[in-house]
Amino acid sequence: MGPEILLTRAIFAAALVLLMCGAVAAWASNNAIRRLAGIALSMLGAILGLGALGAPNALLIAAACAVFVQLAIGAAVTVRLQEDYGAIEAPETDQADRQDDMPGRAP
């Protein structure tokens, strides 16, 4: 096993670790910013992995674009959350939604 292959594998392993850590944060975090950071991290891991595995450039560019759009939409949503609720934590916004529902129409 040459050093190059070893390096590739090491990079790929690091990419996987990044992906997994990011995925956990993106999936389970209550905080909007942390969720976005998770998305960015996991996509970064995926792109790094693609690079290490020698994927075509077109795919890398597509992935980078996707990450950009995801973060843009995520940022817009976060800003609106902050504007509408004054909070970006899921429990707080859920609480506010429940309060909205109470005096309104029947559940």
Partner 1 sequence: MTAALDLMRTHAALLPLIIAMVGAALAMLCPPRLSWGLATIAALLCAFVTADTTVRVLIAAAPLWSVAEGVPLLADGIGLFASPLMAAVAALALAASGAVLSDIERRTWPLAMALVLCQLFGWLGALAARDLAGVFVAIETAWLASVALLAFSDGRTALGGALRMLGAGGVGSALFLCGVGIFYRSVGTLELSAIATAHIESADAAALGAGLMLLGVALKAGVAPLHDWMGGAFTRPGGPAALVLGTVGVIGALAVIVRLAGYVATSPTIGEGVSIALAVLGGASVVIGSVQAVGAHNLTRLAAYAGAAQAGGILLCVALGSPAGFAAALVQLTALAAAALALFGGAAAGGVQSLEHLDGLGRRAPLAGAAIMSGAISLMGAPLTLGFLGRWRLVEAGVGAGWWWAAGAVIFASLAGVFYGGRLIERLYFRRAGDLFHGPNDAWRWALAPMLAASIVAIAFGVSPALLLTAADSAGALMLGGLP
- Chain positions 57 to 76 lying near partner 1, rule: CB under 8 A, are 58-59, 62-63, 65-66, 69-70, 73-74, 76
What would the two tokens of residue 92 be? 């707080």
Q: Is residue 55 at the binding interface for partner 1, with CB under 8 A as the rule?
A: yes
Q: Is residue 26 at the binding interface for partner 1, with CB under 8 A as the rule?
A: yes
Distances (CA, A) of 75 to 2, 32, 49, 82: 43, 9, 25, 11
Residues at the site binding partner 1, with contacts judged by CB under 8 A: 15-16, 19, 22-23, 26-27, 29, 32, 35-36, 38-39, 42-43, 45-47, 49-50, 52-56, 58-59, 62-63, 65-66, 69-70, 73-74, 76-78, 80-81, 84-85, 90, 93-94, 97, 100, 105-107
